[in-house]
Structure 1
Amino acid sequence: MLNIAIVGASGRMGRSITALAAEAHDVRISGALVRPGSPAEGTRVLGVERVNYSSELSLALEDAHVVLDFSAPASGERVAAYCAEQGLPLLVGTTGLAPSQRAPLEAAAAKTAVLLAPNTSLGVNLLLELVRRTAAALGEEYDIEIFEAHHGQKVDAPSGTALRLGEEAAAGREQQLDSTAVYQRKGQTGHRRAGDIGFSVMRGGDIAGEHTVYFAGPGERLELTHRASSRDTFARGALNAARWLLGQRPGLYGMEHVLGVSRPTD
């Protein structure tokens, strides 16, 4: 039986993972960490025997074999340091991480297995590979635009997945996203620069997640799209990743490793 502790357990993803774990025969929730002062603190995790939501990190993670972090970026350093100290494999599904917030995760990867997965959907992670290959094949004659849509409660934009799609598109052209990304257009913007990668964002309703990458060329347009109809898509992928992560050597991993998708060597 695989013991999983969830950081950010009372959030949308935490609740979805808990519900799916209750249906699995090889996984159980052993701990549920929430922020101090959370209304859920001290209450029983629905469908899980003898596990309460707790803001005490060591208590929530003490029986875990793998830790899944879907909390706010600010709590990541503390969780990563604990997992590194204890040798606990860690999956980080938090989106909107700044470079300074990635640094503690990269440091933890020297001591334990750390999987960075801003999107745990298997389909999305195959889309990442398709985008890289398509960008490499078509070149700068085809303009790239990335559209993403999520529910109105999402606080970061563009989504972590949209940014990853942009990174893969740029990598396919042997470029860096920082030098090609366009996040805003207003007024007299002038002609589009060759090689730019544009982003558009929608927030509203209960959209679980939608991403489309457009390759607009002379006389034709190619669209690569992934639509998630349920948050269970991401929760199921997170549980698959947790199973894979157990027993891996220290290092920094991505969902492509879980899928076994070969990647070019940088």
Structure 2
Amino acid sequence: MDDALTSTSPVRLLIHGANGRMGQALLRLAAEQPRRFDVVGAVSRSVGQRVIDGVPQFAASELAGTPACDVVVDFSLAEAFDAVLAHCLAHGCALVSGTTGLSDEQRNAIEAAGLRIPVLWASNFSLGVAVLNDLVERAARALPGWECDIVEQHHVRKLDAPSGTALTLGESAGKGGAQARYAAIRAGDIVGEHTVQFATLGERIELVHRATNRDIFARGALHAAGWLAGRAPGRYRIGDLLG
């Protein structure tokens, strides 16, 4: 991968997990920015049509044969993650991933990959959630001894519970000295809601983020891909985009 992309060159993207809700949003929103992004391929578990809206389609088993790209944007399943990380390492391309439910071994592999390629994994690509993580850490540090509870709500199709975002919020609370407890609700078509409550005798504080449109996550991931392309190897985080 080039040390830096020219400002006039579209970022070449490979969308991994293209048949999912996030994958479809990424394809739609990237197509609206042709000067900024060039989607060179879309990878799904299986394919029917070989080209959709000008984008070549590939099955997961064909990942090794996909076109060269600057960034792979991955929103798939934990069982598919090892292959996409290995692909990025083999080809020297950056990885932006929002796949959740990863094992400790997979999380460690992300950290190791950052020594060789630019990697940005996040449980949530909302910039609002990035700010929420900062607020949770600050609140936990300012309120020693207070109880911390995280309640997350998502649509009925979401598999992992607690959500990756909830666990990341819990890590932020832990950095501030709090021990989080979790509750998960799966109902209807809820896009995503996270409430972090700090409570003690006689008072409580609630920090809440509500997502009403999945496009916010896709926009955040595309923003991250554009930001990450051409950067030096490293383990980047969504909070790095806020500076």
TM-score by length of 2: 0.91
Check conservation: 1:77, 1:105, Cα contact below 8 A: no
Check conservation: 2:41, 2:55, Cα contact below 8 A: no
Match of 1:93 in 2: 98
Q: Which has the larger radius of gyration?
A: 1
Paired residues, number: 232
Match of 1:180 in 2: none
Check conservation: 1:115, 1:252, Cα contact below 8 A: yes
Structure 2: runs of 5+ lacking an equivalent: 1-9
Output the aligned Cα RMSD: 1.4
Please report how far the alpha carbon of residue 50 of structure 1 lies from its aligned counterpart in structure 2 after TM superposition.
4.3
Structure 1: runs of 5+ lacking an equivalent: 174-194, 261-266
Match of 2:206 in 1: 223
Check conservation: 1:81, 1:108, Cα contact below 8 A: no
Please report how far the alpha carbon of residue 242 of structure 1 lies from its aligned counterpart in structure 2 after TM superposition.
0.4
Please report how far the alpha carbon of residue 28 of structure 1 lies from its aligned counterpart in structure 2 after TM superposition.
2.5
Please report how far the alpha carbon of residue 236 of structure 1 lies from its aligned counterpart in structure 2 after TM superposition.
0.5
Match of 1:254 in 2: 237
Match of 1:131 in 2: 136
Please report how far the alpha carbon of residue 220 of structure 1 lies from its aligned counterpart in structure 2 after TM superposition.
1.6
Asked if 1:153 corresponds to 2:163, the answer is: no
- The one-letter code matched in structure 1 to 2:176 is G
Q: Matches of 1:79 and 1:243 in 2, distance apart? A: 19
Please report how far the alpha carbon of residue 78 of structure 1 lies from its aligned counterpart in structure 2 after TM superposition.
1.5
Asked if 1:144 corresponds to 2:163, the answer is: no
Please report how far the alpha carbon of residue 258 of structure 1 lies from its aligned counterpart in structure 2 after TM superposition.
1.7
Match of 1:118 among 107, 119, 123: 123
User: For residues 233 and 13 of structure 1, do their structure 2 counterparts lie closer, same or farther at Cα, with a shift above 3 Å needed?
Assistant: same
Check conservation: 2:12, 2:38, Cα contact below 8 A: yes
Provide the secondary structure at the position in 1 that maps to 2:150. strand
Check conservation: 1:83, 1:108, Cα contact below 8 A: no
Check conservation: 1:43, 1:53, Cα contact below 8 A: no
Provide the secondary structure at the position in 1 that maps to 2:56. coil
The equivalences for 1:176-195 within 5 A come to none
Please report how far the alpha carbon of residue 201 of structure 1 lies from its aligned counterpart in structure 2 after TM superposition.
0.7
Check conservation: 1:3, 1:30, Cα contact below 8 A: yes
Q: Matches of 1:201 and 1:152 in 2, distance apart? A: 11
Match of 2:226 among 227, 230, 243: 243
Check conservation: 1:42, 1:53, Cα contact below 8 A: no
The equivalences for 1:42-121 within 5 A come to 42-43=48-49, 46=52, 48-55=53-60, 56-60=62-66, 62-121=67-126
User: For residues 89 and 231 of structure 1, do their structure 2 counterparts lie closer, same or farther at Cα, with a shift above 3 Å needed?
Assistant: same
User: For residues 45 and 160 of structure 1, do their structure 2 counterparts lie closer, same or farther at Cα, with a shift above 3 Å needed?
Assistant: farther
Asked if 1:203 corresponds to 2:203, the answer is: no
The superposition leaves residues 51-89 of structure 1 with CA deviations (integer Å, 9 ceiling, x where unpaired) of 2243310233x2311101111111111111121121100
Check conservation: 1:73, 1:96, Cα contact below 8 A: yes
Match of 1:178 in 2: none
Please report how far the alpha carbon of residue 104 of structure 1 lies from its aligned counterpart in structure 2 after TM superposition.
2.6
Q: Matches of 2:55 and 2:125 in 1, distance apart? A: 28
Asked if 1:10 corresponds to 2:15, the answer is: no
Q: Matches of 2:198 and 2:148 in 1, distance apart? A: 5
Once the two structures are aligned, what percentage of the paired residues are identical?
47
Q: Matches of 1:66 and 1:120 in 2, distance apart? A: 16
- The one-letter code matched in structure 1 to 2:220 is G
Provide the secondary structure at the position in 2 that maps to 1:51. strand
Match of 1:166 in 2: 170
Match of 2:4 in 1: none
Provide the secondary structure at the position in 2 that maps to 1:67. strand
User: For residues 45 and 155 of structure 1, do their structure 2 counterparts lie closer, same or farther at Cα, with a shift above 3 Å needed?
Assistant: farther
